Amino acid sequence: MRRNVSCILLCAFIALLSGWAGHWLGSRHRSIVYTPETVVKHDTIRPVIPKPEVIVREVPAEVDTAAILADYFSEKHYLDTIIERPYLRVEMTDVISRNALLDRTVVVDYRQPVVYNNALALGLDAGRYSCVLFAGYRRRSWEFRAGYDLYNKSLVLGVSKDLWRW
């Protein structure tokens, strides 16, 4: 009987202790944020649009109506170069008639530079105790070399890779 009572008291004490610790730790991280009440009003005002006043004035000079009509119905071709670079050229051609755009053509001329991925090399490395005559083959960023050291009388092999190009 005593054992059951002590077990119940121990469980109650652990529950009380964990509840108090949870409340204390939770209250440190809890923040109360008050949001003010926002009143939003939407209103649409439609003013009365006044009718425009039309004033007709006489043209002070003689007007050549035929020239105006000929200009109106004629086609005008405009050519404009948008981008002009060594490898890129962009041209735009517009055709305008009767106050409207009839045709627009864009011509892009891109000349890609030729990139050589392979190369053969011939060289000579000279130093205090070496004189290496070599031939090499380059493929993209790798170069493979084979040569002969004239001073030490020995065969020399080499490989290299480009790390940065500028």
Q: Count of H helices and E strands in the chain?
A: 2, 7
Q: Would you say residue 51 has pLDDT above 60?
A: yes
Torsion of CA 94, 80, 72, 57, to 10 degrees: 130
pLDDT at residue 37 above 70? no
Radius of gyration of the chain (CA): 45
Whether 81 and 67 have beta carbons less than 8 Å apart is answered as no
Q: Which residue has the higher pLDDT, 31 or 76?
A: 76
Q: Rounded CA gap, 90 and 102, in Å?
A: 20
| pTM higher than 0.85 | no
Q: Render pLDDT for 125-149 as a digit per residue (tens, 0 to 9).
A: 999 889 999 999 998 889 999 999 9
pLDDT digits (tens, 9 = 90+) for 6-33: 777 777 788 777 777 776 666 655 555 5
